[in-house]
Amino acid sequence: MKSAGKLLIICFFVLVAFFSLSAASAATYTLHDENDDYYYSNNAENYEVEFDSKSGSIWTENYKQVSSIKISDNKGKSKTLKNKIDFKNYKSKNGYSMYKTFYASNLGLSQIKKVTVNFLKQPDLKITKVKRKNNNYYITIKNTGDATAKGNYLGIYSKGKHIKKTYVPALKPGKYKTVKVPISSYYTKYNKIFNVDYKNKINELKKSNNKKTVKGIKIVKKTTPKKNSGGQVIITRTGTKYHAYKHGNMKYISYVSLSYARQYYGPCKICY
């Protein structure tokens, strides 16, 4: 019965360790066998923790920033390793990367029992949607991080230059804000780039999701054809109008004099 009780306790800690990965800013891994290993990966992020009673390692790529690592042994003694002192995070536009190995003997510990990885809470601003109505653009910005993002400016670029900026208020984790930006019709046909925190004042988790490009809209100018003052005009076999020039899907056309067309047909509103 005692051994069964111990097994239940171990299973409880293992489950707590697993679910704490996504539920908090710290993840705890408890050694429950000869080796312990956790690995997480998707298309953009990689994160691995593995250790045994003597040593272990932690590796991240394009993931959250590790702030500290606490290593505890079976006698209740522990050692905390800190960012920029015992290891270093390397930042890219897609997140943070780091690698750290540790040995119980070097840390003055006996058999390693538990490893706690703490992540720094950071905001992460993301442009999720851009809508256009006439010359007004509506940009939706969301904070997908786990810390509040302070107020900043959204920059707008077109034709290779900065053309405008608008203020974005502070956003708590999980919150979003849609800002309205009127842009001159001159830029309608050109691509526009919207960049939140374009002055780079916020220490975000990553910057790769701060930009959104909106393609320009091709403008077709309407032209008014010159009226046919004489000579021949176009009629269609089944039509009731005469035309100054071919347009649309006109088939089975023939040419008649303008005077004849005026006598038996009506003028096309597009041509005349």
Q: Is residue 234 part of a domain?
A: no
Phi, psi dihedrals of residue 231, rounded to the nearest 5°? 75, -145
Residue 235's region, left for phi above 0, alpha for psi from -120 to 50, else beta, is beta
Closest CA to 142 of 112, 184, 175: 175
139 and 209 in one domain?
A: yes
Q: Is residue 242 part of a domain?
A: no
Provide the domain count of the chain.
2
Last residue of a domain, one of 162, 196, 214: 214
Which of helix, strand or coil describes residue 234?
strand
pLDDT at residue 5 above 80?
no
Q: Where are the alpha helices (DSSP H) in the chain?
A: 2-23, 258-264
CATH of the domain at 173: 2.60.40.10
106 and 133 in one domain?
A: no
Domain span holding position 199: 125-214
Which of helix, strand or coil describes residue 247?
coil
Q: How confident is the model over 114-142, as a mean pLDDT?
A: 95
Residue bearing the bigger pLDDT, 8 or 266:
266
63 and 99 in one domain?
A: yes
Report how far residue 258's alpha carbon sits from residue 167's, in angstroms, rounded to the nearest whole number: 62
Between the CA atoms of 163, 158, 197 and 182, what dihedral angle is there, to the nearest 10 degrees? 60
81 and 36 in one domain?
A: yes
Last residue of a domain, one of 119, 139, 164: 119
167 and 100 in one domain?
A: no
Percentage of the residues of the chain whose pLDDT score is greater than 70: 85
111 and 28 in one domain?
A: yes
Check: pTM over 0.75? Answer yes or no.
no
109 and 28 in one domain?
A: yes
Last residue of a domain, one of 93, 119, 145: 119
Per residue in 131-175, pLDDT (tens digit) is: 999 999 999 999 999 999 999 999 999 999 999 999 999 999 999
Q: Is residue 67 part of a domain?
A: yes
Per residue in 191-238, pLDDT (tens digit) is: 999 999 999 999 999 999 999 999 998 766 655 545 545 678 888 888
